[in-house]
Amino acid sequence: GGAVVPPRFAADGRTPLAIIGGTGYVGRLLARRLLAHPTFCLGPIVGSQRSEGLLYEDVWQQKEDALVANYGDQLWTRQPFPEALRGVRVSSLDELLADEGCRLAVSCVAPDVGYVEDILTSNGFAVFSISPYKRSHNLMVLEVNPTQMPRSMAQGAALFKSPNCVSVGTTLALHALHAAFGLRDVSVCTLQSLSGRGDALYPPELVQGNVY
C-alpha cells in the first residue's frame, strides 16, 4: 500500500473521519456519534453507486421506512435523522480519494466490496475496519492488546481490523477473567439480533423479540 498521509484537522481542531458504507445501519449510527465526538468529526459519507449524490437524509429515511415496514413499529424503533446532517449528500469513492482534507476512514462495508479498503490504503489512507473483509489481518481489540496499533503503525500498517461484535464483547470480559483467575475452556452461545445484521430484512414470522 501507499505511505499513510498524516491527517488534516478541521476548523474546530478535530480530525475528519470518512465513513465507508455510511448509508448502512452501522454507518448511520457512526455518523450520528461523530457529530459530538471530541477527537474526530464527520468527513465524507461514502455509499454504494446507487446512493452516490443523493441526499443522505433521503437514503436514511428510505432505509428506516423499509425496516419499519418489514418488522412493524413495535419491533423496530425508527432512528431519527440528525438535524445537523441536513443537506449532506452521499459521496462517491472517487470524491473521497480527491478530498485532501480527509485521510482517515472507518469501514463497515460488506465483504464483497471490501476491496475498497485496499484502494484506500494504497492511496495513503489509514483505514479502521469492522468489515469481515480480511478480518484476520492486523486484528485488534485495543482494551486487550493496546500495543498492537502503535506497533503496527510504526511498521507502516494502514489497515486496522476489529473482530466481529460478539468477539469484541466476549474478549473484553474474558480478558479480565483470565487476568484475575485464569481460563482453560469457554463455551459461548450467541443469537442474531435484528440490528446485528443492519438493514437486512428477515421474515418477520421468524423473529422472536429482537432475535432472528
Q: Which helix (H) or strand (E) holds 16?
A: strand 15-20
Residue 6 has pLDDT above 70, yes or no: no
pTM of this structure:
0.88
Cβ neighbours around 113 below 10 Å, total: 15
Per-residue pLDDT, 131:
92
Say whether 46 sits in a helix, a strand or coil: strand
Per-residue pLDDT, 8:
56
Residue 27 has pLDDT above 60, yes or no: yes
Per-residue pLDDT, 206:
80
Per-residue pLDDT, 124:
94
Residue 87 has pLDDT above 80, yes or no: yes
Q: Report yes or no: 199 and 67 within 8 Å, Cβ to Cβ.
A: yes
Per-residue pLDDT, 208:
77
Cell numbers standing for residue 75: 419491533
Q: Report yes or no: 204 and 72 within 8 Å, Cβ to Cβ.
A: yes
pLDDT single digits (tens) 97-136: 999 889 999 999 999 999 999 999 999 999 999 999 998 8
pLDDT single digits (tens) 41-75: 999 999 999 999 999 999 999 999 999 998 888 88
Residue 9 has pLDDT above 70, yes or no: no
- Determine the Cα–Cα distance for residues 109 and 119; give it in Å rounded to an integer: 13
Amino acid at 212: Y
